[in-house]
Amino acid sequence: MITAGIDVGVKTVKIVILKNNEIIAGGMAPSEGFERGKATEKLWNNVLKQAGLSESGVDTIIATGTGKTDVGFANNNVVEVVADVQGVLRLFPSARTLIDTGAEQIRVVKFDEMGRVINYVLNQQCGAGLGAFAESMARALGVTLEEMSRLMLSSKSDTTINAECGVYASLDVVTLIHNNTAKADIARAILDAIANKINSTVNLTNIDKPVVLIGGVAHNEGIVDALRRRMGIDFLIPQEPEMAGALGAALIGISEVSQ
């Protein structure tokens, strides 16, 4: 049995193909905004090629992500929360909570050993754009997001900025720049604010350990470090944290075909 999961996010598209429950191919590419349909198709063709398959060779295609309904060739779609849980459980069977931090959304999901969602919470609107905010602040500091993360780790400052609103946070950063605060300290304040926001979202509900961190932000060492300090939790982080949703969607495809 061959199934595929396609996760169309705000920034990236991710695809995983499973054959007899094993990953045989996968890939990630930018979503390209208005052109996400084309970007998804292009990546799909590449991943099929990687797997040595044609589309007709795939038993079912399940889409997820904010752009799931844009995948016209998918057989069905599922919400991210449901896909994420399946993907995470597959990667870490002992996990009981996942935190998915993408460009625009934070999801915290508590689940049981069977993958049933017990409760979940999404970030509230205030502070919703913090991922995008971090990128724009990185540009203001003249560094990439990765460089900002490395800078942060070299700072011991406890300077804080507003973690509630991107507008107020920007004003705080402007103040720090005008006060000639060290770049590393500003970087730390920015990434700490994001960690703060993630932690506040987690705090909106109850969670269980072990906790898995997925989504693009899980690559950012600075944020992960800040989050670890705030929450006092050692997270489990997959090698490819963005792929969990696509993996989960493909796994759901297996149950669909089996039934």
Partner 1 sequence: MLIQRPEKRWETRPLECWNKAKELRKQFYQKESTAKETNTFIIGGGDSLGMGMMVGMPVCHFIHPNPLAAEMVNASDSFPRECRAAFEAKGYGHDWCGYMASYLGSMMLNRSFRGGEFPRRDISVTGNDLCNFFFKHGQLESEYWDIPMHHEDSMTYYGEPDPERANALVECLVAQNLDLIEFLEKATGKKFDDEAYVESFKRGRRTGVLRAEVIETLQNIPAPLDEKSGYSLFTLGGLVGSDPEQTEKLWEMIRDEMRWRAENQIAAVATERYRFKDGFPPPWYCLNYYRYMEEYGAVCVSVNYGGTGGLEEQPDGSYKLPKNPVERFENIKTREDAVRAQLSGWRNFMAGGLPNPEGNSERLLKWIKAFKCDGVILQLQRNGIGCVDKEREETIRMVEEGIPVMNWETSHAGSRTDFDENRMFDQLDTFMESQGLRKLVD
Partner 2 sequence: MERFQKLLEDPHKYAKEWKEKTGGKVMGYFCPYIPEELVYAAGALPVRVLSEPDADGISYRYLYATFCPKSRGVLAQGLNGTYSYLDGISHAQCCEGMSGAYSSWRLHIPHEHEWFVSMPSDLDNPWALTALRSEMSALKKDLEKWTGKTITEEALDHAIEVYNTSRSLMRQVYELRRAANPKVTGAEAFEMVLSSQIMDKEEHNKLLKDAISKLSGREKRDDNGVRLMMLGSDCDFGDATLTRLIESMGATIVIDRLCNGSNYFWNNVIPQEDRLLAITQRYWDKPRCAVKDETFRRRVVDVIGLAIDYNVQGVIYNVHRFCTPNHADRPPIIEALKKRFIHFHDLEHDGTFPMGDLQSRIETFIDVIRK
Residue among 112, 127, 121 at smallest CA distance from 167: 127
Considering only 14, 107, 110, 197, the residue that binds partner 2 (CB under 8 A) is 197
Q: Residue 21: which of partner 2, partner 1, none does it interact with, CB under 5 to 8 A by kind?
A: none
Minimum distance between the CB of residue 207 and partner 1, rounded to whole angstroms? 10
Minimum distance between the CB of residue 172 and partner 2, rounded to whole angstroms? 5
Interface region with partner 2, contact rule CB under 8 A, candidates 5-13, 80-88, 138-146, 167-175: 167-175
Per-residue three-class SS string for 27-68: EEEECCHHHHHHHHHHHHHHHHHHHCCCHHHCCEEEEECCCH
Query: How many angstroms separate the CA atoms of 16 and 14, rounded?
Result: 7
Query: How many angstroms separate the CA atoms of 220 and 149, rounded?
Result: 6
Phi-psi group of 78: left, alpha or beta (phi > 0 → left; psi -120 to 50 → alpha; rest → beta): beta
Considering only 45, 69, 203, 255, the residue that binds partner 2 (CB under 8 A) is 203
Angle, to 10 degrees, between the axis of helix 183-202 and the axis of helix 166-178? 160
Minimum distance between the CB of residue 5 and partner 1, rounded to whole angstroms? 13
Considering only 21, 124, 144, 154, the residue that binds partner 1 (CB under 8 A) is 124
Task: Give every CB contact of residue 175 below 8 A, 6+ residues apart in sequence.
Answer: none
136 lies in the binding site for partner 1 (CB under 8 A): no
By beta-carbon proximity to partner 2, the closer residue of 144 and 203 is 203
Contact pattern from residue 64 through residue 103 relative to partner 1, giving x for each residue in contact according to CB under 8 A and a dash for the rest: --x---------x-xxxxx---------------------
Minimum distance between the CB of residue 33 and partner 1, rounded to whole angstroms? 16
Task: Give every CB contact of residue 102 below 8 A, 6+ residues apart in sequence.
Answer: 9, 10, 11, 131, 215, 216, 217
211-214 and 106-111 strand pairing:
unpaired
Contact pattern from residue 228 through residue 247 relative to partner 2, giving x for each residue in contact according to CB under 8 A and a dash for the rest: --x-----------------
Site for partner 2 in 107-166 (CB under 8 A): 124-127, 160-165
Could you tell me if 111 and 100 are in contact, meaning their C-beta atoms sit under 8 angstroms apart? no
Residue 236 is given by DSSP the state: B
Minimum distance between the CB of residue 142 and partner 2, rounded to whole angstroms? 18
Q: Residue 163: which of partner 2, partner 1, none does it interact with, CB under 5 to 8 A by kind?
A: partner 2
34 lies in the binding site for partner 1 (CB under 8 A): no
Interface with partner 2 (CB under 8 A): 124-127, 160-165, 168, 171-172, 174-179, 196-197, 199-200, 203-204, 230
